């Protein structure tokens, strides 16, 4: 039985006092009856005796419960988490059973929430350790295998030495990307990396990112196009972080597309021009409906083999999510498996700086 439930059982001091006084009166009557000392005017004396017993019992119960309450408050207030709940009762002297019950209930709810969060954090930690171990193990073992083969004699074989060195280098690059993304997401989650808000030329940044990824798109036979409601659209955001958001989203749209596919990036005003809507749409493989909620989780991949072949770290969308949260925005995802996906977010509209 919990502490609060125990006090609920005896919550009414008046009820207890009535029970005690009634018991005392019955005991007195029984003793007087068996000893033949029952007075003639017993029925006139009984009400007064009952009232006397009631008030004495009530005071005794209140004193006892107050003493127990003070003792419990003194003990509980020593614990860091419970201190905020019971310290006020201890200092003000308002240590009635009812107040103690209310504080205990509040503490019980708080502890339940804390335990639930601890369990979630522990599960998340275990899952993260398993994921990062797997992500690090794959390229490290690959590098080790290639280097061991080269050192065993393949270094002198012109048919394979350059190929093995190239593959080892690709895995080193993958490790570098993974390390950089882990550092980035760690800084975002800890709050160490705060956005530097300023007025930015949004469509200009979009065109710069598209130009940077144009070669990769051509290599994959993907067409890139951009559209804008206006050429001079300004947003209030962190320039570098929004560039990274766009790079991650457009890069994913290229990687998970099909041959002769298409990626379109558009930005239009929304909410009466108070915000700008940025949309990245592709004609790729799409995302199953049941996976849409999880694609922004660390290391989650819809197609694991395709992601690793394309050099993905599994952290791109998670970084996007954290950056947009710092901008007090949300990433909206819709997808039709086999036909493509759409990623959409908003930024606050800003007026251009007058230099």
Residues 100, 162 share a domain: no
Q: Give me the number of domains the chain comprises.
A: 3
SS3 content of the chain, % helix, strand, coil (to 5): 65, 15, 25
The answer to whether the CB of 235 falls within 8 A of the CB of 347 is yes
Q: Which domain holds residue 201?
A: 197-348
User: What pTM value is reported for the model?
Assistant: 0.60
Give 119-144 pLDDT, tens digit per residue.
Answer: 776 776 676 677 677 677 777 888 88
Domain co-membership, 226 together with 184? no
Q: Please report where in the chains the tokens 């009466």 appear, as a residue.
A: 272
Q: How many of the other CB atoms lie within 10 Å of CB of 211?
A: 11
Domain match, 180 and 212 both: no
Residue 28 is assigned to a structural domain of this protein: yes
Residues 215 and 330 in one domain: yes
Instruction: Provide the 3-class DSSP secondary structure of residue 87.
Output: helix
User: Can you give the pLDDT at residue 311?
Assistant: 56
| Predicted local distance difference test score (pLDDT) of residue 3 | 44
Residue 191 pLDDT:
75
Q: What angle in degrees, to the nearest 10, is found between the helix axes of 97-151 and 80-92? A: 160
- Contact, 242 vs 203, CB < 8 A? no
Tell me: do 216 and 334 sit in the same domain.
yes
In the chain, which residues have pLDDT < 50?
Answer: 1-10
Question: CA–CA distance from 106 to each of 83, 109, 163 (Å)?
Answer: 12, 5, 65
- Decide which of 172, 190, 208 is a domain's last residue: 190
Phi/psi of residue 345, nearest 5 degrees:
-150, 170
Co-location of 54 and 96 in the same domain: yes
| pLDDT tens per residue, range 281-305 | 999 988 888 888 888 887 777 665 5
Assess whether 221 and 173 both reside in one domain.
no
């Amino acid at each position: 039985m919990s502490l609060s439930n125990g006090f609920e059982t005896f919550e009414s001091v008046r009820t207890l006092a009535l029970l005690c006084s009634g018991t005392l009166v019955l005991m007195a009557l029984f003793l007087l009856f068996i000893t033949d000392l029952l007075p003639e005017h017993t029925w006139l004396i009984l009400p007064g005796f009952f009232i006397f017993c009631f008030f004495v019992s009530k005071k005794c119960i209140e004193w006892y419960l107050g003493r127990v309450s003070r003792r419990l408050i003194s003990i509980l207030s020593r614990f860091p988490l419970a201190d905020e709940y019971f310290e006020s009762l201890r200092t003000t002297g308002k240590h009635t059973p009812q107040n103690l019950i209310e504080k205990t209930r509040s503490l019980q709810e708080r502890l339940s929430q804390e335990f639930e969060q601890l369990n979630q954090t522990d599960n998340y930690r275990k899952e993260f350790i398993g994921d990062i171990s797997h992500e690090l193990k794959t390229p490290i073992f690959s590098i080790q295998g290639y280097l061991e083969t080269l050192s065993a004699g393949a270094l002198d074989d012109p048919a394979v030495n350059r190929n093995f060195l190239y593959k080892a280098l690709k895995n080193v690059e993958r490790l570098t990307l993974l390390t950089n993304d882990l550092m980035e997401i760690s800084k975002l989650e800890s709050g160490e990396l705060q956005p530097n808000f300023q007025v930015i030329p949004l469509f200009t940044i979009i065109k710069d990112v598209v130009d940077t990824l144009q070669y990769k798109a051509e290599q994959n036979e993907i067409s890139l196009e951009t559209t804008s409601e206006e050429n001079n659209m300004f947003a209030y955001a962190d320039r570098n972080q929004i560039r990274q958001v766009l790079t991650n989203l457009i890069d994913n749209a290229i990687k998970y597309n099909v041959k002769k596919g298409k990626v379109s990036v558009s930005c239009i005003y929304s909410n009466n021009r108070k915000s700008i809507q940025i949309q990245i749409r592709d004609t790729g493989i799409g995302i199953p409906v049941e996976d849409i909620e999880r694609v922004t989780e660390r290391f989650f991949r819809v197609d694991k083999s395709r992601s690793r072949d394309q050099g993905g770290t599994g952290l791109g969308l998670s970084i996007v999510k954290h950056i947009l949260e710092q901008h007090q925005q949300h990433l909206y995802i819709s997808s039709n498996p086999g036909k493509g996906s759409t990623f959409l977010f908003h930024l606050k509209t800003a007026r251009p700086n007058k230099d």
